[in-house]
Structure 1
Amino acid sequence: MNLKQLSALLDLSQTTVSRALNGYPEVSEATRRRVLEAAHRHGYKPNSNARKLATGRAGSIGYVLPVGRNIDLDPHFVEFLSGLGEHALSREIDLSLTPAPYERESEAYHRIAASRSVDGVYLSSMRNDEQRIALVRELGIPFLAHGRALKPENGYAFVDIDNEGAFHDATRLLLQLGHQRLAFINGDTDFSFAVHRLDGVRRAMADRGLPVAKLQHHSAAMNEENGYRIANMLFRDADPAMRPTAVLSASMFTTLGIVRALNQLGLKMPDDVSVITHDDVFPFLKPESFSVPLSTTRSSIRAAGARICERLVDIISGAEREPVQEIWPVELIVRASTGPAPAEHRMVRRRPAEAAAAE
C-alpha cells in the first residue's frame, strides 16, 4: 500500500496523512491515531526518499561521536544508545553517527548543517563551559542536551538526573552511620555531572559541620583500572590513620576496581569500609551480583536514551516549543555494602557531665 492508497482509504489528503505519520503538531491527536492504526493494519511503510521530499526532513537524528587515541568506548554510551534506538525504531527515525576527534568537533557540526543529513542532534557529556550549545544554535540545528553545563545555565532544553541530590543523600547516609573520613572517587571534573556530584558531597558534609577539606577527592575517567589504582593509593599506600572508612564511587565500572583492590588487601565491606556507588542499571552488571551487594544511587541510562529521542523528535516536529529543562530524581538503594563506621573511628559526642562521670 502506498501513500495515495492509504489516503483514499482514510478519505484524507496525502498531505494530512504524511503530516500525521511524521508527527506534525497541527494534526489532531484523533486523526494521528486513526492514521497510525490504519498504516499498521494495512502494512503501510513510507518510502524514505519520498518522505524526505514531501516533508523536507531527513528522518534522522544525529550525534557527533568522539573518537581518538585517548577515548574508550564507554559502556554508559552503549546502554544509552540502546534506549535511544528502541524509541527511534518505534518512531521510524534513523540515527546518524558522525565520528570526530575533540579538536575537530566544530567541523563535524558544520558538515551536518551543510548536508542537512539530520533533522536535529543531541549533545552529551556536557562540559563545564559548554561551547556546542552556541554553535548548534548559530548553525540552526535543533538540539537537546543530555545533561547540563555549568555555563550557560539556562535557555536550552535538556534531560538530566539530579547528580547533586543523589550524592548529597548518599553522603548524608554515611555521615549518619558515623563515618568521618570519606573518600570520593569521582568522574572527570572537566564534565559538569562530576562537579554537581562533588557539590552534593560537600554540601552534605557542610550540613553536618564536617570540614570539606577532610574529603579525599579523586577525579579520573570512570573505569575499572582507575578505581583499582586509586583504591590502592587510599588503602595500601596511605598512613593507616588517614584511611577512609567510607568510599563514594561515581560509577559501577570504577567500583569493580575498588572492590578488586579491597579484596586483595583483605578489607571487608562494610566492616572495614562502606561503599556506595552510582548505578546506571546495567543488565550485565548488577549491584546485587557482587559478593557483598552494593548500595547505589540508581538511575536508568537506557530510559534516559528513550526520553532523549522522544523529546528531540518533538522538538524537531514543533510539538515541544519551549526549552524545557527536565531533571530526574535519583533513588538511593541501601544494601549490604554500607554499615556503621568502625568503632575506633566513630566520633562520640557527650555532654560535659557525661564526660566528667566517665573520668
Structure 2
Amino acid sequence: MNLKQLALMLDLSQTTVSRALNGYPEVNEETRRRVVDAAKRHGYRPNPSARRLATGKAGMIGYVLPTGASVDIDPHFVEFLSGLGDYARSHELDLVLSPAEADDEETTYRRVAANKQVDAVYVSAPRPKDRRIALLHQLGLPFLVHGRSEGLDFPYPHLDIDNEGAFHEAGRLLVQLGHRRIALINGDDTQTFAIFRERGLRRALAVSGVELMPPMIRSAGMTEENGYRATRSLLELDVAPTAILCSSLIMGLGVVRALCDLGLSVPKDISLVAHDDVFPWLRPENFPVPLSTTRSSIRAAGARIAERLAARISGLEDDPRGEVWPVDLVVRGSVAGAPL
C-alpha cells in the first residue's frame, strides 16, 4: 500500500496522513492514532527518500559510538539500546551508529551534523564541562544527553537518574547499621555519574563524622573482573572495610567471587549494596545472598530518551529541559549490622 492508497482509504489528504505519521503537532491525537493504526494494519511503511523529500526529516536518531582497543562492549549500553530500540521501532524511527575514535568523537559529530543524515542525536557517559555537549549546542543539531554534565554555562536537555541521592541513601543505611569503614567500588571517576555517586556517599558519611578516605575508593570500568580486583585490594588493607557499596550488579558478581575466594561471607563479614540497572538476565535476588540495591531501569531510560528525541524532531519539545528520575533503595539480605 502506498501513501495515496492509505489516504484514500482513510478519507484524508496525503499531506495529513504524512504529517500524522511523522508526528507533526498540528495533527490532533485522534487522527494521528487512526492513521498509525491503519498503517500498521495494512503494512504501510513510508519510503525513506520520499519521507525526506516531503518532510525534510530522515526519521533517524544518531549515536556516535566510541571504538578502539580500549573500549569494551558494555552490557549497560546494550540494555539501554534495547529500550531505545523498542520505542524507535514502534514509532517508525531508525538508529544510526557512527563509529569514532574514543578520544576524537567531536570530529564525527561535526560530520554527522554536516551530512544531515540524522534528525537528532543522543550523548552518553557525559563528563564535567563535556565538549561534545558544547559542540552540539553550537551546531544546532537537536540532541539529548543521557546523564548530566557540570560546569557548562548554558542549559541543555537531558535525562538522568539521581545518582547522588541513591548513594546517599545507601550510605545512610550502612551508617545506621553501625558501619564506619565503608568502601566504594565506583565506575569511571571521570564521568559525572560516578562523581555524583561518590559525592552522595561522602555526604551520608559526613553526617556521622565519618570521612571516605582515598584508600577506600576504587574506580574502573564496570566489569566483573574489575569488581573482583577492587575487592581483593580493599581486603588487603591493614584496616579493611566492613561494607562495600559498588556501582553495578556486574561488578557485584566480582565482589561476591572475591569474598568467596577469601572465605568471607555476606553479610556476616561484609555488607554489600550495588546499583541495579535492572537486567533481565542478572537479578539481585538470585545472588547467593539476595543483594540490596539502588534500583533504576536503564531500559526504561532508553525508551524515554527515544520518546523525547522523537518529540524534539517533530517540534513538540524544544526547551532545554532536564529530567532526573528518583532511584529506589531495595533492602535485601546482603546488609547487616557492622561486625564487632
Normalised to the residue count of structure 1, the TM-score between the two structures is: 0.92
User: Does the C-alpha gap of structure 1 residues 7 and 82 become closer, same or farther in structure 2, counting only changes over 3 Å?
Assistant: same
2:85 aligns with 85
2:174 aligns with 174
1:303 aligned to 2:300? yes
1:244 aligned to 2:241? yes
> Separation in 1 of the partners of 2:228 and 2:213?
23
- 1:66-94 CA-partner distances (Å, limit 9, x unpaired): 11111100010000011111111000111
1:353 aligns with none
1:155 aligned to 2:155? yes
2:144 aligns with 144
Runs of 4+ in 1 over 4 A off after TM superposition: none
1:266 aligned to 2:270? no
User: Does the C-alpha gap of structure 1 residues 95 and 292 become closer, same or farther in structure 2, counting only changes over 3 Å?
Assistant: same
Task: For 1:63-82, list aligned pairs within 5 A.
Answer: 63-82=63-82
- 1:110-139 CA-partner distances (Å, limit 9, x unpaired): 111121111000000011121111211222
2:329 aligns with 332
* SS of match in other structure, 1:103: coil
Deviation at 1:209, TM superposition (A): 2.3
Deviation at 1:154, TM superposition (A): 5.2
2:318 aligns with 321
- 26-35 or 71-80: bigger deviation: 26-35
8 Å Cα contact 1:314/1:320 also seen in 2:
yes
- 1:27-65 CA-partner distances (Å, limit 9, x unpaired): 111221222233233332222221121111111100000
Deviation at 1:187, TM superposition (A): 0.9
8 Å Cα contact 1:182/1:214 also seen in 2:
no
8 Å Cα contact 2:83/2:299 also seen in 1:
yes
1:351 aligns with none
Alignment RMSD, CA only? 1.4
1:195 aligns with 195
Deviation at 1:214, TM superposition (A): 7.9
> Separation in 2 of the partners of 1:129 and 1:18?
40
Identity across matched positions, percent: 60
Normalised to the residue count of structure 2, the TM-score between the two structures is: 0.97
8 Å Cα contact 2:246/2:252 also seen in 1:
yes
Deviation at 1:199, TM superposition (A): 0.7
2:252 aligns with 255
Q: Which runs of 5+ in 1 are unaligned?
A: 344-359
The residue identity in structure 2 corresponding to 1:326 is E
1:55 aligns with 55
8 Å Cα contact 1:182/1:215 also seen in 2:
no
- 1:294-344 CA-partner distances (Å, limit 9, x unpaired): 11001111111111001001011111121221111111111111001112x
- 254-263 or 168-177: bigger deviation: 254-263
User: Does the C-alpha gap of structure 1 residues 121 and 261 become closer, same or farther in structure 2, counting only changes over 3 Å?
Assistant: same
- Larger Rg belongs to: 1
8 Å Cα contact 2:71/2:102 also seen in 1:
no
- 198-207 or 24-33: bigger deviation: 24-33
> Separation in 2 of the partners of 1:329 and 1:44?
39
Q: Which runs of 5+ in 2 are unaligned?
A: none
8 Å Cα contact 2:144/2:309 also seen in 1:
yes
1:120 aligned to 2:120? yes
Given candidates 279, 284, 298, the residue that maps to 1:282 is 279
Q: How many residues align?
A: 340
The residue identity in structure 1 corresponding to 2:285 is E
- 1:131-158 CA-partner distances (Å, limit 9, x unpaired): 1112112222100000000122751111
> Separation in 2 of the partners of 1:138 and 1:179?
48
Task: For 1:12-27, list aligned pairs within 5 A.
Answer: 12-27=12-27
Deviation at 1:8, TM superposition (A): 2.2
> Separation in 2 of the partners of 1:64 and 1:24?
27
Deviation at 1:202, TM superposition (A): 0.6
> Separation in 2 of the partners of 1:45 and 1:222?
40
Deviation at 1:246, TM superposition (A): 0.3
The residue identity in structure 1 corresponding to 2:127 is R
> Separation in 2 of the partners of 1:68 and 1:214?
30
User: Does the C-alpha gap of structure 1 residues 163 and 215 become closer, same or farther in structure 2, counting only changes over 3 Å?
Assistant: farther
- 33-42 or 134-143: bigger deviation: 33-42
- 1:238-281 CA-partner distances (Å, limit 9, x unpaired): 22xx1110000011121111111100100111110100000111
- 295-304 or 225-234: bigger deviation: 225-234
